[in-house]
Amino acid sequence: MADSLSLPIAPIAANYDHSSLLSRNSAFSSRLLPFKCFSSGKNKLNLSSLGQYSFHSLHHRVAPIRALDSDVPHPLHKGSVDFKSKKSYEQWDSLTSTFSGAANIPFLLLQLPQIILNARNLLAGNKTALLAVPWLGMLTGLLGNLSLLSYFAKKKEKEAAVVQTLGVLSTYVVISQLAMAEAMPLPHFMATSVVVGSGLILNLLNYYNILNRRIWQIWEDFITVGGLSVLPQIMWSTFVPYIPNSILPGAIAFILAVAAVTMAHTGKLSEKGVKFVGAISGWTATLLFMWMPVSQMWTNFLNPDNIKGLSAISMLLAMTGNGLMIPRALFIRDFMWFTGSTWGTVSYGYANIVCLYIFNSIGREFFIAATVGLISWLGCFSTTIKLSYVLYPYQPET
């Protein structure tokens, strides 16, 4: 086996310095690579040396987007002007966007069976069956989708925004079915309808930059207060009756959220404090979705027999949908998006598949296929995206 794998590149003139551009057709500049990445006496790129360089000094060359800057539109574009014009960058951009858009398919299939089942029960006059679907849980998911829709619309991530829009619409259809079956109070449904309609219109207008900034700020304040109020209440409710049933966590969070938003607008917070408040809505939505597997695992622990009611296909779809969004989050170096997608892939989808296998609800072949597929997918993109980080390092503004 050869000591290293080399790729031929265009010849370089003898008097051409390695600090200049390698070739007209090269997708990157040699200033990104150490001299030892070139085979001695040949115009070839040594990939073994490149691998050592990328994995040992990646943290010196690449500065990831900080958590508080996750909601900044196009954070990756803070680098040099030449950065986006690279052909290889455009290919990566297109590929990861395609994967992100493809997540619509598993997420749509994830909700569709519930919609069809509810429709059948309504047509059969069996409204009682819809009481099994918790409207409060669906409402929480809807709020999370709306918050993330605002987050991705602000960042101009079209494919991810479409995924969240589909999530809003599909969840709203289920909530409408629950209202028709009188499983959800009508006043709550009417208020939800107003919020959903307003949210979709405002996000559409903001995406195309035709919305008044003040109106958008009011909407962001609304989802910030709403998300921060719901999150601790949902976390608390998960462990009832082992802890007292109380609305105190949500009430305290609501007061703190209103105070934080007010202080941010009155100039009583530092610049970092204002950034923190601005990032709350996206992070609370992400944490809401991240809490779903925790709640499910807790339920599985308390009632192991209930795990038989879980659909292995649904868990596989959840794992697939979240997994398809990881490459895009990695590519644009969005820490919040990467955290939520990875958690959903591993802790929600795959972890429940593991539980199903442990309790003999799925066969060994299904479990092995899911495991191999997940490891292969994550391994492939973690390696290739790392390489793209070396070729296109993030250059923060000075």
CB 206 within 8 A of CB 220: no
Residue pointed to by tokens 């973690």: 382
60 located within any domain: no
Residue 328 identity: R
Run of H or E residues at 8: strand 6-8
- The mean predicted confidence, pLDDT, of the chain is 77
Residue 111 shares a structural domain with residue 172: yes
Residue 179 shares a structural domain with residue 201: yes
pTM: 0.71
244 located within any domain: yes
76 located within any domain: no
Give me the helices (H) in 155-245, please.
Answer: 158-180, 186-207, 213-238
Range of the domain at 266: 219-284
Q: Which of 191, 211, 231 is the last residue of a domain?
A: 211
Q: What percent of the chain has pLDDT over 90?
A: 29
Residue 103 shares a structural domain with residue 204: yes
| Distances, alpha carbon 137 to alpha carbons 68, 140, 180, 234, 238, in Å | 28, 5, 17, 9, 11
In sequence order, what are the residues at sequence separation of 6 or more whose Cβ sits closer than 8 angstroms to the Cβ of residue 182?
127
Residue 206 shares a structural domain with residue 271: no
Residue 336 shares a structural domain with residue 308: yes
7 located within any domain: no
Q: What is the pLDDT of residue 31?
A: 37
346 located within any domain: yes
Residue 188 shares a structural domain with residue 143: yes
Q: Say how many domains are in the chain.
A: 3
ω into residue 134 within 30 of 0, thus cis? Answer: no
Structure tokens at 109: 């299939």
Q: Which of 211, 235, 270 is the last residue of a domain?
A: 211
Residue 256 shares a structural domain with residue 201: no
277 located within any domain: yes
CA proximity to 229, closest of 122, 151, 139, 132: 139
Q: Which of 211, 245, 266 is the last residue of a domain?
A: 211
Average pLDDT score over residue span 206-231: 91
Pairing of strands 44-46, 6-8: antiparallel
Q: Tell me: the pLDDT tens digits for 131-183?
A: 877 787 788 888 888 989 999 998 888 889 999 999 899 999 999 999 999 98
Q: Tell me: the pLDDT tens digits for 341-396?
A: 999 899 888 998 998 898 888 899 999 999 999 999 888 766 666 655 555 555 44
Residue 377 shares a structural domain with residue 274: no
Q: What is the pLDDT of residue 355?
A: 86
Give me the helices (H) in the chain, please.
Answer: 47-61, 87-102, 104-123, 135-154, 158-180, 186-207, 213-238, 248-265, 271-302, 312-331, 335-343, 351-358, 364-391
Measure the CA angle with vertex 338, ends 312 and 30; round to 5°: 130
Largest CA distance in the chain: 84
Residue 112 shares a structural domain with residue 189: yes
Band the pLDDT of 6: cuts 50, 70, 90. Answer: very low
Residue 224 shares a structural domain with residue 328: no
Distance, CA of 355 to CA of 293 (rounded, Å): 12
Band the pLDDT of 332: cuts 50, 70, 90. Answer: confident
